[in-house]
Amino acid sequence: MTLDPAHAERSQQLAQTAERSRQIRKAAIASTVGTTIEWYDYFLYGTAAALVFPQVFFPNSSDYVGTLESFATYFVGFAARPIGAAIFGHWGDRIGRKATLIITLLIMGLSTTLIGVLPSASTWGSAAAVVLILLRVLQGIAVGGEWSGSVLLSMEWGDQKKRGLMGSWPQLGVATGLILGTGFLTLMSIWTTDAQFTSWGWRIPFLASLVLVAVGLYIRLQILETPMFAEIVAKQRIKKAPVMDVIRNHPKEIVLSALARMSEQMPFYVVTAFVLSYLTDDAHGYSNNFVLIGTLVAAAIEFFLVPFFGNLSDTVGRKRLYMTGAAVMGVWGFVYFAMLDSGVAWLVFIALALGLIPHAMQYGPQASLIAESFPTSMRYGGAGLGYQLASVVAGGPAALIATYLIHQFGTGYAVSAYIAVSAIITLAACAALKDYSRADISDDQTYARVRA
């Protein structure tokens, strides 16, 4: 029996639609799971840097100096992130999103596992701190190459009218990674004595990274390359030096993307890293578990809010929502530290639990806001550089500067003012960015027309 050609064509179209839907789901899952693993590893370091690294790797320093030294090793990971963005941005725009993301996942997993077996200063002396810094640099390079690839994997596969939502899925990796990393360390802190936790308990979550990496690799190997990248390959529009091209042709977008992250990234690391040492000092006296559990609640709340605000940006526009979040963050910093310094435990806990809401307002639409600013042939490198350059001026020095401000002025309001300044910078930078929420980003001519 001969099939009706029209019926056969419809059947083929339905099969293609079903396969595309499967790939969209796989891409969203693969990008979210991958970023979860990357950020699990990265946040483990931040939490350990606040709680145990001063004693393990800098035991001969005073509490203040040891904390500064520990957060300094934390900072080098941020400084390495733009390097990772440049390296993997080049290859992500040349050989594709999928292959590059497999490499970044392997680098992150192996470097985190090695931190878990690194001998302490009592065994290796100063060499332990040197190796710790080198492994932290590798973590930074891996994260630097991971973010933009994961965002593009999801955003370039999904419904282009829902780019805000699709771009927000890999952003969930931050909340999920924070929950897993901080949660695992919290459990180890509960299950062990202080001496056991400092000696070996903190190492277990680092070693568990190998298992997570195996899961992530399995999932990422199941996906196909994104349709947008496949199209520029088919049309032979691959750049020989995409990172150099994007720096030459889109420097404004790179710089503005970095500055737009000031009120998102800097307060985030104040809330998730600095506050751990701030509230557990002699002046406040809260336990590690109290602060860690409060941070876990904040991450759980953000887990639901990030896709909510990502989806909302598809309706109200990226810039409008992002700038609203920045303005809220500028005010929230003062409320936040007033609650932390209140001396009332339940108020402190509420502050910890609500601490990431203004961050979620920005982080939900952020991926699409930045990635949409660059054409497909240079998007991996351009988005990665814009996103990761903020690490050098915003996230990296946040804990260091906050520690210094408290030591210098003796009040949390000094950090609040620091957050307010970051919000002003973000508002100015975001106002200057073009909003591509409704534009066709699959067509490079869209960007050529805007520049003209």
Residue 302 lies in a domain: yes
Contact 358, 345 (CB under 8 A): no
The span from the CA of 437 to the CA of 343, in Å, is: 44
pLDDT score for 2: 54
Length of the chain, please? 452
Residue 22 lies in a domain: no
Provide mean pLDDT across the span 31-50. 79
pLDDT score for 337: 95
CATH of the domain at 327: 1.20.1250.20
Q: Measured over all CA atoms, what is the biggest interatomic distance in the chain, rounded to whole angstroms?
A: 86
Q: Per-residue confidence at 235, pLDDT binned at 50, 70, 90?
A: confident
Closest Cα to residue 310, out of 386, 259, 362?
A: 362
The span from the CA of 2 to the CA of 214, in Å, is: 48
Closest Cα to residue 363, out of 177, 206, 228?
A: 177
pLDDT at 295 over 90: no
The span from the CA of 266 to the CA of 260, in Å, is: 11
Residue 205 lies in a domain: yes
For residue 182, give the amino acid letter: T
pLDDT at 314 over 80: yes
pLDDT at 3 over 70: no
Residue 9 lies in a domain: no
Whole-number percent of the chain with pLDDT over 90: 39
Extract long-range pairs of 224-227: CB within 8 Å, 24+ residues apart: 224/23, 224/98, 225/96, 225/97, 225/98, 226/27, 226/96, 226/97, 226/152, 226/153, 226/156, 226/157, 227/156, 227/157
Question: What pTM, to 2 d.p., does this model score?
Answer: 0.84
Domain containing 341 equals 29-451
The span from the CA of 293 to the CA of 406, in Å, is: 23
Q: Give CA angle at 361 (358, 366), nearest 5°.
A: 125
For 198-226, how does the pLDDT look when each residue is reduced to its tens digit (9 = 90+)? Answer: 889 889 999 988 888 888 888 888 888 88
Provide mean pLDDT across the span 245-273. 93
Say which residues have a Cβ less than 8 Å from residue 19's Cβ, sequence separation at least 6: none
Provide mean pLDDT across the span 342-353. 94
The span from the CA of 199 to the CA of 193, in Å, is: 10
Helix axes 413-432, 251-260, angle to 10 degrees: 150
pLDDT at 301 over 60: yes
For 388-437, how does the pLDDT look when each residue is reduced to its tens digit (9 = 90+)? Answer: 998 888 887 888 899 899 989 989 999 999 999 999 999 999 999 988 88
Extract long-range pairs of 206-211: CB within 8 Å, 24+ residues apart: 206/41, 206/44, 206/48, 206/112, 206/113, 206/115, 206/116, 207/113, 207/116, 207/117, 208/184, 209/37, 209/40, 209/41, 209/44, 209/108, 209/109, 209/112, 209/113, 209/116, 210/109, 210/113
Task: Please report where in the chains the tokens 């789901």 appear, as a residue.
Answer: 25
Contact 18, 180 (CB under 8 A): no
For 165-175, how does the pLDDT look when each residue is reduced to its tens digit (9 = 90+)? Answer: 999 999 988 88
Residue 12 lies in a domain: no
Q: Provide φ and ψ at 91, rounded to 5°.
A: -75, -30
pLDDT score for 451: 63
For 74-119, how does the pLDDT look when each residue is reduced to its tens digit (9 = 90+)? Answer: 678 778 889 999 999 999 999 988 889 899 989 988 998 999 999 9
pLDDT score for 66: 66
For residue 357, give the amino acid letter: I
DSSP character at residue 202: T
* Burial track 149-168 (b if 16+ CB lie within 10 A, e otherwise): bbbbbbbbbbeeebbbbbbb
pLDDT score for 126: 84
pLDDT score for 44: 81
Between 371 and 52, the higher pLDDT residue: 371
pLDDT at 444 over 80: no
Between 157 and 14, the higher pLDDT residue: 157
Residue 16 lies in a domain: no
Q: What average pLDDT is seen over the chain?
A: 87
Residue 330 lies in a domain: yes
Residue 129 lies in a domain: yes
Number of domains comprising the chain = 1
Provide mean pLDDT across the span 360-376. 94
pLDDT at 55 over 90: no
pLDDT score for 328: 97
